[in-house]
Structure 1
Amino acid sequence: MTQPRYAYLGPSGTFTEAALLAMVDADEVEAVPMIDVPAALAAVRSGDVEFAVVAIENTVEGGVTATLDTLSRGEPLVILGEVVLPVSFELAVRPGTALADVTAVSAHSHGLNQCRRWLAETLPGAVQIAASSNAAAAEELAAGVAGFEAALAPPGLAARLGLEVLETGVADNAHAATRFVKIGRPAAVPPATGADKTTLSVCLPDDRAGALLAMLEQFAARGVNLSRIESRPRSDRPGEYSFSVDALAHIDEPRMAEALVGLKRTNPVVIFLGSYPAATGYPTPVASGTSEEDFADARAWVQGLRSGRH
């Protein structure tokens, strides 16, 4: 039987590969490295792979815009699961290189941003060079073709590539973490677990005072808490924005389903990006009056009114 193919940001050794291996057994899948996030998601859309694992959010930089924008444009894709990994780096160099020799350092742009303060204090004169991934920067350095003397590499990769490590635990925030998601094509939604998220992209109907509040009230009125909301510019309407939202509920729950109905009625574009188990596994608190039983009782009461029962 053919193993499912998973696209991820390559080459081997990236944090994204580590996230993939935290989600699935390495012996049961074929991992396919990609040059960037859009390429990984395009491979799912084309059918070249069944799934992709991509970063969607980190605790330093917030949302990963390449993921948010690519998910909300083009053929539908959905999130099937998530994992959160701690993130810190090793400062890798070619053997014999001292810290004083480093005039340029490379990493993925998010990696550089996550170490901005450390780099300013430790390598104040070094040029920062963005790479397609942290692992790609380390590979270039090991191959001796790079225009830089150091790379911020995921832990363990330097030793594998024959590089030396000058510093470990490199990060501005010792508790930095990145959230990764598994992406697939739309199918039947997995059942609710009681500890779920629903991810959406919503475009407001017009640019007016109170439009965002009206959208948020669709959630608030039904007791649906949001764990993330951020604006993204609309490519088709300059000066206007869509909103990427993570709601702590599942589409099978009446409170989430009714919020979706309200959003669809009042907003021109609502893109459903999946209901899936949250990485924390903690049961989502349900406010009084918004449980499945509360909604069922209310519907039964209304039906009784229609039938003449008061």
Structure 2
Amino acid sequence: MASAESAKMYGVNILAEDVQDKDSITRFVVLSSSGIKAAPTGKDKTSILLSVKERPGALYEVLGEFALRGLNLTKIESRPSKRALGDYMFYIDCEGHLEEAEMQEALKGVEKKAAMLKILGTYPMAIRK
């Protein structure tokens, strides 16, 4: 999905118009190999990808690192890792910026407890009208 201006700019045909739902939200992602750093705005989110060790309570312990520091998780999505049957990756969105002390402490704790941690990025939260 994109604007009519984008279609014109890139010379592509518009297949359908007005396809959004009334309260739909579209997420756009900026990818960079050089690590673009977004300055803290006071209303930020951080996205991470992680996997946990195969034992009871492992996910609970990892998520507790955020709770201990008062960080709100706004999304947790599990996806099969495709490495082994029953092995999952967890995509997590958390309120807070990577430069904030609470976030840094939480991620250090997660890194110690998780099997794998990948920080995807930090960015300003969407403004809902």
For the pair 1:219 / 2:61, whether they are aligned, the reply is no
Which of residues 15, 28, 41 is equivalent to 1:180?
Answer: 28
Aligned residues: 126
Q: Deviations over 1:180-212 (max 9, x none)?
A: 222222425222111111100010011x33221
TM-score by length of 2: 0.82
Separation of aligned partners in 2, 1:32 and 1:202: 38
Map 1:3-42 onto structure 2 (within 5 A): 15=1, 17-18=2-3
Find the residue that maps to 2:79 and give its secondary structure. strand
Which amino acid is the alignment partner of residue 71 of structure 2? V
Kindly state the Cα deviation for residue 176 of structure 1 after the two structures are TM-superposed. 2.7
Map 1:247-258 onto structure 2 (within 5 A): 247-258=94-105
Q: Percent identity?
A: 35
Which of residues 67, 77, 94 is equivalent to 1:230?
Answer: 77
Higher relative contact order structure (alpha carbons within 8 Å, sequence separation ≥ 6): 2
Find the residue that maps to 1:178 and give its secondary structure. coil
Separation of aligned partners in 1, 2:34 and 2:48: 14
- Aligned CA distance change for structure 1 residues 178 and 268 (closer, same or farther; 3 Å): same
Find the residue that maps to 2:31 and give its secondary structure. strand
Which amino acid is the alignment partner of residue 47 of structure 2? T
For the pair 1:244 / 2:107, whether they are aligned, the reply is no
Instruction: Name which of structure 1's ranges 177-186 and 191-200 shifts more when overlaid on structure 2.
Output: 177-186
Which of residues 272, 277, 281 is equivalent to 2:119?
Answer: 272
- Aligned CA distance change for structure 1 residues 31 and 205 (closer, same or farther; 3 Å): farther
For the pair 1:154 / 2:17, whether they are aligned, the reply is yes
The answer to whether the 8 A contact 2:58-2:113 is kept is no
Which amino acid is the alignment partner of residue 154 of structure 1? E
Q: Which residue of 2 aligns with 1:199?
A: 47
Separation of aligned partners in 2, 1:242 and 1:193: 29
- Aligned CA distance change for structure 1 residues 189 and 234 (closer, same or farther; 3 Å): same
Larger radius of gyration: 1
Which amino acid is the alignment partner of residue 194 of structure 1? G
Separation of aligned partners in 2, 1:194 and 1:264: 24
Q: Which residue of 1 aligns with 2:107?
A: 260
Structure 1 segments (4+ residues) deviating >4 Å: 30-33
Kindly state the Cα deviation for residue 254 of structure 1 after the two structures are TM-superposed. 0.3
Find the residue that maps to 1:185 and give its secondary structure. coil
Which amino acid is the alignment partner of residue 203 of structure 1? S
Separation of aligned partners in 2, 1:188 and 1:248: 19
CA RMSD of aligned residues (A): 2.7
Separation of aligned partners in 1, 2:34 and 2:74: 23
